[in-house]
Chains A and B, each alone.
Chain A
Amino acid sequence: MSGGKGDADNMIPVLFILIPLVSGLTLFFFKNEKSARSWALFSSVVTLFVSVSGLTFFNDSNHLKFSAEWLSFLGSSFSVKVDGMGQVLCLLTAISYPVIFLATWKNQYSKASSFFGLMMLEQAGLMGVFVAMDALLFYFFWEMVLIPVYFLCSRWGGEKRVQATFKFFIYTFLGSVLMLVAIIYLFSQTSDHSFSIESFYRLSKILPAKTQGWVFWLFFAAFAIKMPVFPFHTWQPDLYEQSNTPTTIVLSGVIVKMGVFACIRWLLPVVSVASFQWGDVVTSLAVTGILYASLIAIQQDDLKRLVAYSSIAHVGLMCATIFSETTIGFQGVMIQMFNHGINIIGLWIVVEMIGKQTGTRKISELGGLAQKAPSLAIFALIIGLANLALPLTNAFVGEFMMFNGIFSSGATRYNVIFTVLAAASIILVSIYILNMIRKVFYGNNNEVTMAANDIKWNHKLVLSVIVILIIWLGVYPDSILNLTQGLSETILKQSDVMHLFSGK
């Protein structure tokens, strides 16, 4: 690094990547399982500390930007910046790791040092994705997230994990390749032969609509798989069902947001014309997916699959909202990316606890758990209510803003019908969440739940943190909305191509 004290000020985004990266690489050399576990927790807490300080003490653009030369012969540079959206998503990433480690503190893994090492590498990649301001760098980090995930899923998990991982691999690998093609093509079209985000953003007004169209689909395929948007979703329930809990949590809590995030940063502003033209098609898919996944969620008997389909519905709403191109909708997506992460992490912990206490995840086999595990029941209910977007929980704010965004969208003529269909999901979500809670926790004990115990202090601690976040952002969402306000408006302005179509 180019030394000097001046640069030390700009280290926040670099630290985001460096701490987990170094921690992860050293972890591979750990022999003792306990110390590997402690080291992973320690470094993730340090990252959380850096992330929080990036929101408070060092919350100005000087501290949150860093650039160094890297692969300059290719026109790429190591350019990273934590903007509003980055702050929110890095915070989510930083919070989720200590929470996961604490919640799964007692879980045993064969080759624990590799497990934790891969987890930390994955975190480094995630942070990189959220701060990268260079397309090649972005792609690099994108892959850096996926590689550890393949290993984590295929080596630790249920019996059918290899098949599930293979499906996931085929899907995402295909997406990545398409995205790489798109990135390289865009690079070749830039005037200054650069991968920098500014050069890419300039293309939105230059590239002809037809070219933008196929670039759009190359990109969107990768992002849609990651979110996932109907009909690219079938890898998800299988993988969540088979994978180990920490990986599932990172996948659904954070990695899923990569797709949403990437649409906002790398799709809309880069191929704005195509995003506008294809908006209706994408929104139709997303809205179909919301209802489709909600209806299927009602039918699920396995808790993990229920959460998986619920997530597909919730992410579908974010996807639909992005293409409505409204400030209120964008702001809703921003806050909902964080909220959904927090809520689904909470849900997974609850599901994990139910499984641990009773030995099953089948809803039909459970019942009356509230008598044996009252604390777990209370946490499950609160997190469940957050998941169905009850007012004064975090998700209500996000959903309210997103529905408003779709409804008031000028980018589509079908805004009313899209909103009606999307908002109908609030009925369906209450059906599957409340039925799940009723069947698992209420009623009388049976032989499965008879021997269950209540949760221990570490779970109470992490679930309390989650509940506090749920209520805090439900009552005072402006604390996040203020961070992302500027960025939402900037990106919308960059992506605004409606004037080109005003003649139509």
Chain B
Amino acid sequence: MQNALQLVWLIPFFPLIGFLINGLFRKQLSKSLIALTGCGTILVSFILSVWVFLQVKNGNSDVAEYFNFISAGSFKVPFAFQVDALSSLFLLIITGIGFIIHVYSTSYMKDETGEHYGRYFSYLNLFVFSMLLLVMGANYVIMYLGWEGVALCSYLLIGYWFKNTEYSKAANKAFIMNRVGDFAFLLALFWIVSKTGSVSFDVVFSKASALGTSDVTIITLLLFIGATAKSAQIPLYTWLPDAMAGPTPVSALIHAATMVNAGIYMVTRSKALYSLAPLSQDVIAITGLATAILAATIAMKQNDIKKVLAYSTVSQLGYIFLALGVGAYTAGIFHVMTHAFFKALLFLAAGSVIHAMGGEQDIRRMGGMKGKLKITYITFLVGCLAISGIPPFSGFFSKDAILLSAYEHNKILYVVALFGALLTAYYMFRLLFLTFNGSFRGTEEQQHHLHESPAAMTIPLIILAVLSFAGGFAGIPDIFLKGGDAIAEFLSPVLPPEGGKTVSHSTELILMLLTTVLVLAVIVLAWFRFRKYKPEEEKGLGKFLKNKWYVDELYEKIIINPLDRFGAFLSNVFDRSVVDGLVNIVGRLVNYGSRQVRLLQSGQVTSYVLLMVLSMLLIMAVQFFLRK
């Protein structure tokens, strides 16, 4: 049994092979072969992941070591993978959702030429490979390989249409902002290495209790800064909405299956450290909640269908961090899973809408599309119900688990979180109504063009809709079904249940009812506001929200511009005049001195040195050949 798990390397291996085949032979292979390689390799990984899932179901886990990656004296970093309940759940999400997105892409990207089609699928496979490396790594360094790997892939895919300068700028922004997080992550790693002498999870966590509180707090805060970049939290979230520049399936991949889950996974994996650092936990909870609210307010006023979804991702991730911050790891991971379902669904459905609109993304020019795009409409509606937390859709169970944990932890957190949940319902149904209800506001040509997407796109939507509906049944709370919380049960070897519940069943039921009634009320409100929508200029607060609180502008003013000006000063003034100026003065002095002693006449300096070396050469030769 344990030995069988040594084969887990095959899971990332197949996407890697797919990347190489599609990357190297993209000009030779036909489009159908490219699609087959791209999807097939992920499917194999998914099947293997299911097998691993069944293996670890009974609490098995294994660390598979392959070779020494880095070694220096006693410090060793093995290339090792860890398989346990936590990583296997992520394996399923990554390869499962990843596969669906690959299949969807075969149709969505079909207008690309063969070469670019191959490039696209090779990037997609590399993305999955990197994410697998990230969750399978048995130490922080292997995790970090995947950590930067996903940043690279997001860079490649956001800038996929490289002729568009704005898109490649967005790609750069994503990578550079992630690098800021990486910087913190690396510092945390150095700290860990210097205090524990290792990067392997088992060693680090077993030595964690021996670390001082300040060490643990610094390490965990630095790790969290790393997580804020990957998982788009304050202050490093602004790259994610811009990442919409990539093809829509890529957004689904980034937002649902891969990249943004990285930070959550890392914090959860480092639970042993965070449980020793209450300050860091509070920081996480507050940052998460603040991000949730901030992003939700911005989402209310966005007009790009993908931007709304992007901010909703940022907001939902905020909820997950809130859960992690209050110590409800299982609830957080549960929400990662359901969020992966419904966010993949929403993005792919949005892709179907954009596809039908011939590339249009502005919801002000949509409307009334539910007639022509039936499947897309229904699946999108399922997604909206799920994300808003309407029972019995999946989001209800996971969000409720988070809200309840927040309630137990701190009533203020709960109230704010509940407010955020209402905003979620508001902006999601605004999006739904503007897109699918009312009358069509686009051009004649667009209206004529409207059509449902082909089966390769709608079948993934249907599968994801089923998952978005039923995915929550994996974690039914005790009040409805004793022992219904299968996911907590499954994760318990890695994330043991956190103490007994302090909230009585009746309170729990009342809270649920309250949330649901309020959310339904907000949906009705949204219906009355947006069923007959007319575009209008935003003013005051609306304009402020539409412009995303001017955070990008603020960063530009206080960080980017000063740094740029400072660099220009160093480059144009300091280096040229001060440093080099001094050198030139010294140079002139040497020149002057040399003229005085008439040693270096007519600039023939080199010949003197040459003479010196030649004579040394001669001496050497004489010594060599005349000695014996």
**A→B interface (CB under 8 Å):** 1-3, 68-71, 78, 140, 143-144, 146-147, 150-151, 154, 166-167, 169-171, 173-174, 231, 233-235, 292, 295-296, 298-300, 327-328, 330-332, 368, 370-371, 385, 390-392, 396-397, 400-401, 403-404, 407-408, 419-420, 423-424, 426-427, 430-431, 434-435, 438, 441-444, 476-478, 481-482, 485, 488-489
Residues of B within 8 A of A435 (CB): 172
Residue from the set B67, B72, B191 with the largest chain A CB neighbour count within 10 Å: B72
Q: Select from chain A the residue with minimum beta-carbon distance to B586.
A: A170
- Given the known interface contacts A170-B590, A477-B69, the answer about A69 and B627 at a Cβ–Cβ threshold of 8 Å is yes
Q: How far is the CA of A435 from the CA of B171 in the complex (A)?
A: 10
* Contact of B163 with A by CB under 8 A: yes
A to B CB contacts below 8 Å, 10 in the list: A143-B609, A166-B603, A296-B567, A407-B194, A438-B165, A438-B171, A444-B163, A444-B165, A485-B71, A489-B73
- Report yes or no: B627 in contact with A140, Cβ–Cβ below 8 A: no
* Contact of B575 with A by CB under 8 A: yes
- Report yes or no: A427 in contact with B176, Cβ–Cβ below 8 A: yes
Q: How far is the CA of A408 from the CA of B190 in the complex (A)?
A: 8
- Given the known interface contacts A144-B613, A173-B605, A299-B572, the answer about A442 and B165 at a Cβ–Cβ threshold of 8 Å is yes
Residues of B within 8 A of A390 (CB): 148, 152
Residues of A within 8 A of B627 (CB): 2, 69
A449 CB, min distance to chain B CBs, angstroms? 12
20 additional A-B pairs beyond A69-B623, A407-B190, A423-B190, beta carbons within 8 Å, are: A70-B624, A154-B606, A166-B587, A170-B586, A234-B583, A295-B563, A296-B575, A327-B75, A328-B73, A332-B72, A390-B152, A401-B70, A403-B190, A408-B193, A426-B179, A426-B183, A427-B180, A430-B176, A434-B155, A441-B162
Q: Select from chain A the residue with minimum beta-carbon distance to B606.
A: A150
Q: How far is the CA of A434 from the CA of B173 in the complex (A)?
A: 10
B627 CB, min distance to chain A CBs, angstroms? 7
Q: How far is the CA of A233 from the CA of B578 in the complex (A)?
A: 12
Q: How far is the CA of A328 from the CA of B199 in the complex (A)?
A: 14
**B→A interface (CB under 8 Å):** 67-73, 75, 141, 144-145, 147-149, 152, 155, 159, 162-165, 168-169, 171-172, 175-176, 179-180, 182-183, 186-187, 189-191, 193-194, 563-564, 566-568, 570-572, 575, 579-580, 582-584, 586-587, 590, 603, 605-606, 609-610, 612-613, 616, 619-620, 623-624, 627-628
- Report yes or no: B624 in contact with A68, Cβ–Cβ below 8 A: yes
Residues of A within 8 A of B616 (CB): 140
A285 CB, min distance to chain B CBs, angstroms? 12
- Report yes or no: A397 in contact with B70, Cβ–Cβ below 8 A: yes
- Report yes or no: A391 in contact with B148, Cβ–Cβ below 8 A: yes
- Report yes or no: A419 in contact with B190, Cβ–Cβ below 8 A: yes
Q: How far is the CA of A416 from the CA of B628 in the complex (A)?
A: 59
Residues of B within 8 A of A167 (CB): 583-584, 587
Across the interface, A3 reaches (CB within 8 A) one of B67, B183, B570, B628, namely: B628
B336 CB, min distance to chain A CBs, angstroms? 24
- Given the known interface contacts A299-B572, A328-B75, the answer about A478 and B179 at a Cβ–Cβ threshold of 8 Å is no
Residues of A within 8 A of B152 (CB): 385, 390
Q: Select from chain A the residue with minimum beta-carbon distance to B594.
A: A170
Q: How far is the CA of A264 from the CA of B169 in the complex (A)?
A: 42
A170 CB, min distance to chain B CBs, angstroms? 5
Q: Select from chain B the residue with minimum beta-carbon distance to A331.
A: B72
Residues of B within 8 A of A2 (CB): 627-628
Residues of A within 8 A of B67 (CB): 476, 478
Q: How far is the CA of A427 from the CA of B151 in the complex (A)?
A: 13
A22 CB, min distance to chain B CBs, angstroms? 12
Q: How far is the CA of A376 from the CA of B70 in the complex (A)?
A: 31
Residues of A within 8 A of B570 (CB): 292, 295-296, 299
Q: How far is the CA of A424 from the CA of B193 in the complex (A)?
A: 19
Q: How far is the CA of A396 from the CA of B183 in the complex (A)?
A: 13
Q: How far is the CA of A174 from the CA of B594 in the complex (A)?
A: 13
Residues of B within 8 A of A332 (CB): 72
Residue from the set A401, A442, A488 with the largest chain B CB neighbour count within 10 Å: A442
- Report yes or no: B566 in contact with A295, Cβ–Cβ below 8 A: yes
Residues of B within 8 A of A419 (CB): 187, 190
A63 CB, min distance to chain B CBs, angstroms? 21
- Report yes or no: B144 in contact with A391, Cβ–Cβ below 8 A: yes
Q: How many A-B residue pairs lie within 8 Å, measured between CB atoms? A: 180
Residues of B within 8 A of A392 (CB): 145, 149
A339 CB, min distance to chain B CBs, angstroms? 13
- Report yes or no: B575 in contact with A234, Cβ–Cβ below 8 A: yes
Residues of B within 8 A of A482 (CB): 71
Q: How far is the CA of A373 from the CA of B191 in the complex (A)?
A: 44
Residues of A within 8 A of B183 (CB): 423-424, 426-427
B557 CB, min distance to chain A CBs, angstroms? 18
- Report yes or no: B73 in contact with A327, Cβ–Cβ below 8 A: yes
Across the interface, B163 reaches (CB within 8 A) one of A146, A231, A430, A443, namely: A443
- Report yes or no: B72 in contact with A438, Cβ–Cβ below 8 A: no
- Report yes or no: B624 in contact with A371, Cβ–Cβ below 8 A: no
Q: How far is the CA of A117 from the CA of B141 in the complex (A)?
A: 46
B228 CB, min distance to chain A CBs, angstroms? 15
- Which A-B residue pairs are the 9 nearest by beta carbons? A407-B190, A299-B571, A327-B73, A328-B72, A331-B72, A295-B567, A234-B580, A408-B194, A442-B162
B356 CB, min distance to chain A CBs, angstroms? 28
Residues of A within 8 A of B69 (CB): 476-478
- Report yes or no: A426 in contact with B605, Cβ–Cβ below 8 A: no
- Report yes or no: B606 in contact with A481, Cβ–Cβ below 8 A: no
Across the interface, B168 reaches (CB within 8 A) one of A150, A296, A431, A443, namely: A443
Across the interface, B605 reaches (CB within 8 A) one of A169, A231, A233, A299, namely: A169
Q: How far is the CA of A1 from the CA of B620 in the complex (A)?
A: 11
Residues of B within 8 A of A234 (CB): 575, 579-580, 583
Q: Select from chain A the residue with minimum beta-carbon distance to B151.
A: A390
A338 CB, min distance to chain B CBs, angstroms? 15
- Given the known interface contacts A420-B187, A424-B183, the answer about A296 and B571 at a Cβ–Cβ threshold of 8 Å is yes
Q: Select from chain A the residue with minimum beta-carbon distance to B191.
A: A407
B55 CB, min distance to chain A CBs, angstroms? 27
Q: How far is the CA of A150 from the CA of B175 in the complex (A)?
A: 41
- Given the known interface contacts A296-B567, A331-B72, the answer about A434 and B175 at a Cβ–Cβ threshold of 8 Å is yes
Residues of B within 8 A of A403 (CB): 186, 190
Q: How far is the CA of A327 from the CA of B571 in the complex (A)?
A: 35
Across the interface, A400 reaches (CB within 8 A) one of B141, B176, B580, B582, namely: B141
Across the interface, B606 reaches (CB within 8 A) one of A68, A147, A426, namely: A147
- Report yes or no: B571 in contact with A478, Cβ–Cβ below 8 A: no
Q: Select from chain B the residue with minimum beta-carbon distance to A406.
A: B190
Q: How far is the CA of A68 from the CA of B624 in the complex (A)?
A: 8
Residue from the set A295, A296, A391 with the largest chain B CB neighbour count within 10 Å: A391
Across the interface, A327 reaches (CB within 8 A) one of B72, B169, B567, B603, namely: B72
- Report yes or no: B623 in contact with A400, Cβ–Cβ below 8 A: no
Q: Select from chain A the residue with minimum beta-carbon distance to B148.
A: A391
Q: How far is the CA of A233 from the CA of B179 in the complex (A)?
A: 27
Q: Select from chain B the residue with minimum beta-carbon distance to A435.
A: B172
B184 CB, min distance to chain A CBs, angstroms? 9
- Given the known interface contacts A147-B613, A391-B148, the answer about A430 and B175 at a Cβ–Cβ threshold of 8 Å is yes
Q: How far is the CA of A140 from the CA of B605 in the complex (A)?
A: 18
- Report yes or no: B613 in contact with A423, Cβ–Cβ below 8 A: no
- Report yes or no: B587 in contact with A404, Cβ–Cβ below 8 A: no
Residues of B within 8 A of A489 (CB): 73
Across the interface, B613 reaches (CB within 8 A) one of A70, A143, A300, A430, namely: A143
Residues of A within 8 A of B590 (CB): 170, 174
Q: How far is the CA of A10 from the CA of B183 in the complex (A)?
A: 47
Residues of A within 8 A of B191 (CB): 407
Q: How far is the CA of A300 from the CA of B576 in the complex (A)?
A: 13
Across the interface, A481 reaches (CB within 8 A) one of B70, B163, B582, namely: B70
- Given the known interface contacts A234-B583, A442-B162, the answer about A143 and B612 at a Cβ–Cβ threshold of 8 Å is yes
Residues of B within 8 A of A371 (CB): 163
Residues of B within 8 A of A423 (CB): 183, 186-187, 190
- Given the known interface contacts A143-B613, A385-B152, the answer about A477 and B70 at a Cβ–Cβ threshold of 8 Å is yes
Residues of B within 8 A of A396 (CB): 148
Residues of A within 8 A of B623 (CB): 69-71, 78
